[in-house]
Structure 1
Amino acid sequence: MPVVTARSVTRREGTALPTTRPAAQRRRLGTELRELRERADLRIDDAAAELRCSTSKISRLENGKTPPQERDVRDLVRFYGGSIEVGERLQEMARSGQDNGWWGDEFKDVFTDRLVAEQLKEYVQLEEYASAITSYTADVVPGLLQTESYITALTELLFSNHDAELRKRFVEFRLRRQRILHRDDAPRLRFLISEGTLRQPVGGSDVATQQLDAISKRIVENDPSCVVRIVPLIAVSPALYGGSFSVIVFDDPADQDTVLVEGRNAPTYLKSDADVERYGQSFAEIEKVSLDAGASLDAIEEARAILRQI
């Protein structure tokens, strides 16, 4: 299997390209505002003084790190000496960059209470607009493949100190993510799951077994847009010792292909071409030592037998 990169991804016939995501629009807008400022021979301090704001706000705006306000964009373009046409175009980009997505509208309460880390919020944004996602998991079942009972059990385990209603909202949030699987322009997915993950009795034997059934169903369906394979315990590869990671790639060249590396406390996001290429190669190496469809189903059946003894 060749290494997957953003520009090598081809979409399935009859599907539409995903809309450029707000984060990409914000980066484009920020770049153009910075270029306008520099051509006008002005400093960030000058722009901050004009808007009566902090220099950090201007810096975040130019780096695409904050949702832009149309009024700020209009005033900056005017201050930099940009034309009316440029101002109108950049204000339209500002409107496009303000979209909070379903995660910010439907589940604002979940993020406000900090049950969902900002890092996960960023991942959901990436996931929503991705062309392809390749993922290796060494601890839990990938989020897009988790059953409701498995999600509920994980939530009870990890967030037992939170209010029950908020935990319920978190489960709803995780299930809402999975709608991406049913979109016409859903990303192409490839999941490699460690065999050890299958044997973990998350939620008890019944819940864990139901989760195995869901994974088996994915393999049996043989859908090329969502491939699942198991990495056996006896597999040997240097790439297996780096922990869980995902490579998220995009059709739009304006978007940055991104690697998410799981950490004990929080994930790390890597966006350089070298990192994306390196982790893409790691995925390819792990895929080489993973089981084929039939052997993957056998590994799941063996895990099911172990869980039944618990």
Structure 2
Amino acid sequence: MSEEEEPGWEVEPDDEWGVAVIATVGRQLRLRREALGMRAAEFARAVGYSEDMVYKIESGKRIPRPEYLDKADKVLDAGGLLSAMKEDVEKVRYPKKVRALAEREAKAVEIKLYDPLNIHGLLQTPEYARALLLMRRPAYSSEEVERFLSARMARKSIFERDPAPEISFVLEEWTLRRPLGGREVLRRQLEHLAMAGQLRGVELQVMPMDCEEHAGLAGGIEVLKFADGSAVGRSPAVVNGRPVEEPRHLRILELRYGSIRAQALTPRESTTFIEHLLGAT
């Protein structure tokens, strides 16, 4: 698909910050184009997009791609001002809820994660993540799949932070065995897990299916701790999954997570277990 054929993403209507950012970017693009006396059709040919897409971006109805802003900056001789908008525009490309989660993760110094249904999003390969998104019912549109996939992969930059946060994952054995997306997708996912477990500050533990006790039956758990001593947690078993900061709620989450870790295989045992699954896949 050529760039001029590829549609831009729409801003979520309830994303007030995103709507304001894209409206401002679009207005700046239009004002600079008009200041040079350049018609929309001429500008569209110069940047390699359709005239209709130019109007949609300038009216704030579509999120411009990063390459669009770079080309516009050059064509309109903006001296880097339009290209500089890419950082905020890139954030708007991600769904509002995902963006808020990524912002919290970017500030955390310690993260504890347990997902009973799937391999956690921070550990997913693009192929595995895409397979999960395509399985969703009612189905996501192609645009939504790409948007959620891009957002999920962008969150993985947390592993590149310096200093990196301490991150603990507990994975269910069945999620490592079920070939969602196909055997080859699962194999690449297991290979990725084996490498992720070697990262500094990352601990992976597997909850085996033959474990006779399990403190995580009430649902997933997320706990993020910050440098100032504050924390935020979330679990469907506590206040219907809404983020909580109250000490009594956080204590419940920490207690459950600690029990889950104690019942799961140790990090070393888990690494061996994943390598064993790799050999059998």
Query: What's the TM-score, normalizing by structure 1?
Result: 0.56
Cα distance in structure 2, aligned partners of 1:110 and 1:249 = 23
The one of 193, 205, 210 aligned to 1:234: 210
- Return the letter of the residue paired with 1:138: P
Cα distance in structure 1, aligned partners of 2:217 and 2:138 = 30
Residue pairs, 1:1-310, within 5 angstroms: 105-111=89-95, 118=97, 120-158=98-136, 161-219=139-197, 221=198, 223-237=199-213, 239-253=215-229, 256-262=230-236, 267-304=241-278, 308=281
Inter-CA distance 133–139: structure 2 relative to 1 (3 Å threshold) = same
**Counterpart secondary structure, 2:227:** coil
The CA RMSD measured in Å over matched residues stands at 2.7
Q: What percentage of residue pairs aligned between the two structures are identical?
A: 23
**Which consecutive unaligned segments of at least 5 residues does structure 1 have?**
1-65, 68-101
Cα distance in structure 1, aligned partners of 2:163 and 2:90 = 22
Cα distance in structure 1, aligned partners of 2:110 and 2:87 = 20
- Return the letter of the residue paired with 2:187: T
Shift of 1:302: 4.9
Question: Is the contact between residue 151 and residue 171 of structure 1 (CA under 8 Å) also seen in structure 2?
Answer: yes
Query: What's the TM-score, normalizing by structure 2?
Result: 0.62
Inter-CA distance 237–268: structure 2 relative to 1 (3 Å threshold) = farther
1:53-87 residue CA offsets vs partner (Å, 9 max, x unmatched): xxxxxxxxxxxxx98xxxxxxxxxxxxxxxxxxxx
**Counterpart secondary structure, 2:217:** helix
Shift of 1:246: 1.0
Cα distance in structure 2, aligned partners of 1:123 and 1:289 = 28
- Return the letter of the residue paired with 2:267: A
**Which consecutive unaligned segments of at least 5 residues does structure 2 have?**
1-15, 18-85
Inter-CA distance 241–160: structure 2 relative to 1 (3 Å threshold) = closer
- Return the letter of the residue paired with 1:108: V
Inter-CA distance 103–157: structure 2 relative to 1 (3 Å threshold) = farther
- Return the letter of the residue paired with 1:141: I
Cα distance in structure 2, aligned partners of 1:168 and 1:294 = 35
